[in-house]
C-alpha cells in the first residue's frame, strides 16, 4: 500500500502552489490559480453538504475537457464521494445505462449533452448540474437544490467571514484502500464494465509520474486527451496538478492542425499523446519531405543524412512547441515504421503500456532508457508475467499484479472472476513477450489473433501497421474469411483529391499495395485481397476500431 494519502496530496499541492496558475480553457484569457481552484472546490463541497451527499455516494460527470470538468472531479474525490467519469462520445443509451448502473445521485454534464438525454430514464438522480456555470438543470421531486444554490454565495461568506485562504483547505482523510473512481471501459467488444479504481491505484500512478517525469511548479501542460479516460486523467490532469503545473485544457477535437497551433502557443514542457497523433504528423508533415527524389538521394550520402535528420528533428520539435523534454506515447501500439524513423532522427519519445484496469500504467521507461519497439520496463510495485512456455521469444497473454491493479468490476462478480487467474493475476488480454530486462513487447490483442492454416499465430495489428503506411490508405482492418486474410481499407480521399487521381484508379493502386505488403510479410501472413471500404470504421471513444462489427464481412 502506498504511504502517501491520495487525497491529501492535493491538499498539500493547493497550499504550496497557492498563487501559481492552475487551470485555463484554451482560447480564454482567464486563469484559475491554485488558490482559486481550491475555493471553487470548497464551494462545491458546501453544495454537497447542503444536498446531504454522503461519503461514498456516486457523482457522474460528462463533458469536454474544461476547467469546470476538473473542478467537479476534484470536488467529488476530495469530498470522499466516488466519481463516475463518462466519455462524451458515448451515445445517450450508454450514458443512461452508466448513470443507472453506477447508482449516481448527482450528475455534472455539458448543456449540449444534457439536451440529448432523457431524465425519466435516470430516475435515481437527485440533481443535475451544468458544466457551463454549475447551474441546476434538473432536480428530483422533493429536492430543494435550487434553494441551496440560490443561498450558496451567502452561506459561503458566512462560513469564511475573513475570506477563503490556504488554511481552509482540509479534505477528507479517506484511506487509500477505498474506491474513488468508477471508470466504464469502452472496449472493442461492445461491452462496457465499471472498473473500480482505488485511491491507492491513482496514488501509485501519479507518484510514479512525479518521481520519473520531473515536472516543476509553473511548467506548462496541454490537456487534449479525453479526461474521462484514465490515461489522460492520470497524467495530463491529476499528475500535472500534483506537480503544480499550469494546465491548459484544449476542449476541442485534437486534429494535427489544431494541436500544432496550440503547441506553438502553449509550449508545453511534457506532451502526453496517443500514437494516432504522431502517426498523422508523420504522414502529413514528414513523408512528403522524405518522398522528394532529391531528398532520397541525400539520405543515401553518409554524414549528409545526419544533417538532414537533425533538421527534420528540429522542425518537428519546433512544430510541437519547442520546449518539451519528452513525448510519452500510450493508449495503443505505435506504428513500427513511424517509431523507427523517430529513433533515427533522435526524437525524444518513449512508449508506455497500460489499461483502464491499472489506472492505467503497467510499464514505462524514460526515452534515455527506452528499448526500441518495447513498451518500457514494468513499473516498481507491479509484476508482469507471460502465459507462454518461453516468455522471451514466444508471445503469450500478459498478466500483471501489484499496486495499480483494480479491485474488480462494479456489480459484476462474473466478469471480475473472469478477469483474474486463479492465483490472482489480472489477465490483460494482450499478447506479448518480456525480455531479461523486464521490458514489455506487445504483439496484439489475444481476442484478435488469427490462427493460420498450419497453426501459426497471425497478429492482424502488425499487418495493418504496414498497410497503413502505403499510399492512399487512411486506415485498414485485416480479417479472416474462409481461411484467407482479407484487408478492408478506407482510402485517404484527401490525398487522392490533392494530386488529382480519380477514385476509379484506386483498385489498381490497392493491388500494387497488396504486392508491396506481401513482400514484407511471412507466407502465412499474405493478404489475398484488399477490399475498399466506403466509410471510416466505427470506433470506440478511445478511437480503437470496433472489430466485432466487421468480423462477418
Which residue ranges make up each domain of the chain? 6-198, 271-323+326-446, 449-550
Helical spans, DSSP H, in 374-483: 413-419, 460-467
pLDDT of residue 186: 63
Residue 188 is predicted with a pLDDT of 41
Pick the CATH number of 271-323+326-446 from 2.40.30.10, 1.10.3720.10, 1.10.10.350, 3.40.50.12780: 3.40.50.12780
Q: Which fold has domain 6-198?
A: Rossmann fold (3.40.50)
Residues in the chain, pLDDT under 50: 187-190
pLDDT for res 282: 85
Q: What are phi and psi of 230, to 5 degrees?
A: -60, -30
Torsion of CA 235, 239, 245, 248, to 10 degrees: 40
Torsion of CA 243, 279, 541, 363, to 10 degrees: -50
The superfamily CATH assigns to domain 449-550 is ANL, C-terminal domain (3.30.300.30)
Q: What is the pLDDT of residue 333?
A: 79
How far is the C-alpha of 231 from the C-alpha of 241, rounded, in Å?
Answer: 15
Model pLDDT for residues 138-161, shown as the tens digit of each residue: 999 999 999 999 999 999 999 999
pLDDT of residue 298: 65
CB 278 within 8 A of CB 468: no
Backbone Cα Rg of the chain = 25
User: Residue 440 in contact with residue 376, Cβ under 8 Å?
Assistant: yes
271-323+326-446 and 449-550 agree in CATH topology:
no
β-pairing, 31-33 with 349-351? unpaired
What pLDDT is recorded for position 190? 47
150, 118, 112: which is closest to 131 by C-alpha? 112
End-to-end CA distance of the chain: 48
Model pLDDT for residues 266-306, shown as the tens digit of each residue? 999 999 998 888 888 888 888 777 777 666 666 667 767 78
304-319 helix and 256-266 helix, angle to the nearest 10 degrees: 80
Which three three-digit cell numbers place residue 106? 448527482
In eight-state DSSP terms, residue 433 is E
Amino acid at each position: 500500500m502506498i504511504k502517501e494519502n491520495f487525497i491529501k496530496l492535493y491538499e498539500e499541492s493547493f497550499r504550496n502552489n497557492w498563487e501559481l496558475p492552475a487551470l485555463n480553457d484554451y482560447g480564454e484569457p482567464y486563469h484559475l490559480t491554485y488558490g482559486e481552484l481550491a475555493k471553487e472546490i470548497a464551494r462545491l463541497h458546501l453544495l454537497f453538504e447542503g444536498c446531504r451527499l454522503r461519503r461514498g455516494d456516486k457523482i457522474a460527470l460528462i463533458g469536454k475537457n474544461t476547467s469546470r470538468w476538473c473542478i467537479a472531479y476534484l470536488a467529488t474525490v476530495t469530498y470522499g464521494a466516488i466519481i463516475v467519469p463518462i466519455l462524451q462520445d458515448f451515445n445517450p443509451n450508454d450514458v443512461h445505462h452508466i448513470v443507472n448502473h453506477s447508482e449516481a445521485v448527482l450528475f455534472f454534464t455539458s448543456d449540449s449533452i444534457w439536451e440529448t438525454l432523457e431524465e425519466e430514464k435516470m430516475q435515481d438522480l437527485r440533481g443535475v448540474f451544468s458544466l457551463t456555470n454549475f447551474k441546476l438543470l434538473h432536480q428530483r421531486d422533493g429536492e430543494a437544490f435550487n434553494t441551496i444554490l440560490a443561498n450558496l454565495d451567502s452561506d459561503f461568506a458566512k462560513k469564511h467571514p475573513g475570506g477563503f485562504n490556504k488554511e481552509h483547505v482540509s479534505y477528507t482523510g479517506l484511506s487509500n484502500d477505498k474506491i474513488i473512481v468508477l471508470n466504464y471501459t469502452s472496449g472493442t467488444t461492445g461491452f462496457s464494465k465499471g472498473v473500480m479504481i482505488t485511491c491507492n491505484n491513482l496514488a501509485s500512478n501519479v507518484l510514479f509520474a512525479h518521481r520519473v517525469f520531473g515536472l516543476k511548479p509553473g511548467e506548462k501542460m496541454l490537456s487534449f486527451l479525453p479526461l474521462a479516460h484514465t490515461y489522460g486523467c492520470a497524467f495530463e490532469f491529476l499528475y500535472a496538478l500534483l506537480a503544480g503545473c499550469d494546465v491548459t485544457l484544449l476542449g476541442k477535437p485534437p486534429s494535427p492542425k489544431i494541436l500544432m497551433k496550440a503547441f506553438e502557443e502553449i509550449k508545453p514542457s511534457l506532451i502526453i499523446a496517443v500514437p494516432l497523433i504522431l502517426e498523422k504528423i508523420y504522414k502529413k508533415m514528414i513523408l512528403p519531405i522524405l518522398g522528394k527524389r532529391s531528398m532520397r538521394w541525400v539520405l543515401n550520402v553518409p554524414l549528409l543524412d545526419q544533417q538532414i535528420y537533425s533538421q527534420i528533428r528540429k522542425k518537428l520539435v519546433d512544430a510541437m512547441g519547442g520546449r518539451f523534454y519528452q513525448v510519452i506515447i500510450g493508449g495503443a501500439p505505435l506504428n513500427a515504421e513511424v517509431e523507427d524513423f523517430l529513433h533515427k532522427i533522435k526524437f525524444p519519445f518513449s512508449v508506455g503500456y497500460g489499461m483502464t484496469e491499472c489506472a492505467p500504467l503497467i510499464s514505462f521507461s524514460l526515452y534515455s532508457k527506452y528499448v526500441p519497439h518495447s513498451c518500457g520496463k514494468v513499473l516498481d510495485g507491479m509484476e508482469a508475467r507471460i502465459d507462454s512456455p518461453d516468455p522471451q521469444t514466444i508471445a503469450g497473454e500478459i498478466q500483471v499484479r501489484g499496486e495499480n491493479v483494480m479491485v474488480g468490476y462494479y456489480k459484476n462478480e462474473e466478469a471480475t472472476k473472469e478477469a483474474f487467474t486463479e492465483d490472482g493475476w489480472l489477465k490483460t488480454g494482450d499478447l506479448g513477450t518480456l525480455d531479461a530486462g523486464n521490458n514489455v513487447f506487445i504483439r496484439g490483442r489475444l481476442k484478435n489473433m488469427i490462427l493460420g492454416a498450419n497453426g501459426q499465430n497471425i497478429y492482424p495489428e502488425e499487418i495493418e501497421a504496414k498497410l497503413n503506411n502505403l499510399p492512399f490508405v487512411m486506415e485498414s482492418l485485416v480479417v479472416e474469411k474462409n481461411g484467407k486474410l482479407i484487408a478492408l481499407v478506407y482510402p485517404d480521399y484527401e490525398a487522392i483529391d490533392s494530386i488529382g487521381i480519380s477514385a476509379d484508379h484506386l483498385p489498381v493502386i490497392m493491388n500494387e499495395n497488396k504486392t508491396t505488403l506481401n513482400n514484407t510479410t511471412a507466407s502465412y501472413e499474405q493478404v489475398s485481397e484488399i477490399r475498399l471500404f466506403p466509410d471510416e470504421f466505427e470506433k470506440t471513444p478511445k478511437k480503437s476500431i470496433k472489430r466485432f462489427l466487421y468480423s462477418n464481412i
